[in-house]
């Protein structure tokens, strides 16, 4: 079973690309896939549950004890990255909806597949995995404030509080509690241990399921938004180049070791597009621009990850 899990993790980028291609073909050839939009949140909840299940509660305690690592992670993602994003959005037309989409996705650090990318890139993936609940809570708390700073009071009001509360309950609290309950059962029962081990195979398939549902649901709505998607590509490419360098710089400032520093670089450069999409869809008038802008970032990021997993291991080498 461990062999299967290792194979899935090594091949995950190609699995995700294949999933995106298949979902795109299905969306263009089968009518009615837009109805899959209702399945995005349940699929995300499953993905986050199997992700949190990989975080032993003892590791959470250890992560909170790593003050310099957590400080570096939070400073990189919520101080330096917002400054970078604030500069990059100046390259975009003054279209509030276009800028809102870019801000939603670039201001929110990834809390799922970044862990396995970090592992492939010889980063301290377990520290990063243990910190994922902290990252998700921090971005949900801080994002409305950042939107107010970058877009102004009126534009920030487009993002309703309700979806954020729902996201916190159903995408953080419930999966985390269920994961903790499963770990407790696994520690007390052989059956629970076997089920928990089997669920360890699911992070990559669950992420693939989310990608399929998102792409199949969104592609039919993208026609009028192709121009908007193309306008944001240069911004996403610039972010993909600069963000890991910023993350590594912050890690050096905090005097982290090489593997922990690579984790910061991965976190700074990998965004939470799959989780913020349901929040974006709740914005009045979101379709088609916001989904197009967010899904475009996912595609650019997956290409960037191919470079990161080969380049990041060289950081910190003597």
Whole-angstrom distance, CA of residue 109 vs CA of residue 98 = 19
Q: What is the rounded CA–CA span in Å between residue 141 and residue 18? A: 34
Token digits for 81? 């990255």
Mean pLDDT of 115-141: 84
Contacts of 152 (CB under 8 A, 6+ apart): none
Q: Angle, to 10 degrees, between the axis of helix 81-88 and the axis of helix 132-151?
A: 40
> What are the boundaries of each domain within the chain?
2-8+38-314
* Cα 184 to Cα 159: distance, rounded to the nearest angstrom: 37
**248: buried, middle or exposed (CB in 10 Å: 19+, 13-18, 0-12)?**
buried
Residue 10 corresponds to which tokens in the numbers above?
């090594």
Structure tokens at 182: 């499963």
Query: In terms of pLDDT, which residue wins out, 1 or 79?
Result: 79
pLDDT digits (tens, 9 = 90+) for 235-249: 999 999 999 999 999
pLDDT given at position 79: 97
Q: Check pLDDT > 60 for residue 277.
A: yes
pLDDT value for 22: 93
- Per-residue pLDDT, averaged over 274-284, amounts to 81
Write down the pLDDT at residue 90.
94
Tell me whether the omega of the peptide bond preceding residue 90 falls within 30 degrees of 0, making it cis.
no
Q: Report the pLDDT averaged over residues 216-223.
A: 79
Q: Over 70: is that where the pLDDT of 58 sits?
A: no
At residue 255 the predicted structure's pLDDT band, cuts being 50, 70 and 90, is: very high
Q: What pLDDT was estimated at residue 92?
A: 93
pLDDT for residue 122: 87
pLDDT of residue 59: 66
Q: Which tens digit of pLDDT belongs to each residue from 157-175?
A: 666 667 667 777 887 788 8
Instruction: Say which CATH topology domain 2-8+38-314 has.
Output: Na+/H+ antiporter like fold (1.20.1530)
Higher pLDDT, 274 or 196: 196
Residue, of 224 and 134, whose pLDDT is higher: 134
| Three-class secondary structure of residue 1 per DSSP | coil
Residue with tokens 């070791």: 257
Are 207 and 40 a contacting pair, CB within 8 Å? no
pLDDT reported for residue 293: 92
Is the pLDDT at 30 greater than 80? The verdict is: yes
What is the tens place of the pLDDT at every residue in 284-304? 887 788 888 998 998 899 889
Average pLDDT, the chain: 86
**pTM here?**
0.85
């Amino acid at each position: 079973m461990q062999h299967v899990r290792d194979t899935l993790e090594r091949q995950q980028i190609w699995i995700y690309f294949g999933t995106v291609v298949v979902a795109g073909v299905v969306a263009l050839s089968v009518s009615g896939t837009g109805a899959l939009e209702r399945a995005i949140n349940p699929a995300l909840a499953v993905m986050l549950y199997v992700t949190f299940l990989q975080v032993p509660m003892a590791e959470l305690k250890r992560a909170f004890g790593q003050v310099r690592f957590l400080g570096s992670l939070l400073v990189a993602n919520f101080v330096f990255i917002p400054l970078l994003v604030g500069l990059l959005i100046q390259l975009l037309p003054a279209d509030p909806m276009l800028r809102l989409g870019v801000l939603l996705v670039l201001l929110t650090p990834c809390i799922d597949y970044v862990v396995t990318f970090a592992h492939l890139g010889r980063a301290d993936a377990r520290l990063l995995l243990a910190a994922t609940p902290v990252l998700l809570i921090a971005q949900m708390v801080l994002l409305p404030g950042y939107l107010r700073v970058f877009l102004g009071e009126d534009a920030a009001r487009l993002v309703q509080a309700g979806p954020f509360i729902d996201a916190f309950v159903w995408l953080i609290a419930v999966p985390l509690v269920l994961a903790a309950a499963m770990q407790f059962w696994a520690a007390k029962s052989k059956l629970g241990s076997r089920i928990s081990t089997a669920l360890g195979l699911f992070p990559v398939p669950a992420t693939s399921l989310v990608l399929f549902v998102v792409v199949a649901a969104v592609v039919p709505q993208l026609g009028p938004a192709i121009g908007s998607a193309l306008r944001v590509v240069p911004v996403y490419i610039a972010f993909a180049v600069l963000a890991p360098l910023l993350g590594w710089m912050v890690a050096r400032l905090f005097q982290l070791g090489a593997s922990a520093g690579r984790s910061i670089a991965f976190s700074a450069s990998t965004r939470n597009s799959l989780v913020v999409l349901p929040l974006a869809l709740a914005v009045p008038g979101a379709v088609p621009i916001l989904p197009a802008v967010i899904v475009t970032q996912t595609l650019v990021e997956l290409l960037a990850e191919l470079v990161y997993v080969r380049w990041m291991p060289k950081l910190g080498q003597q």
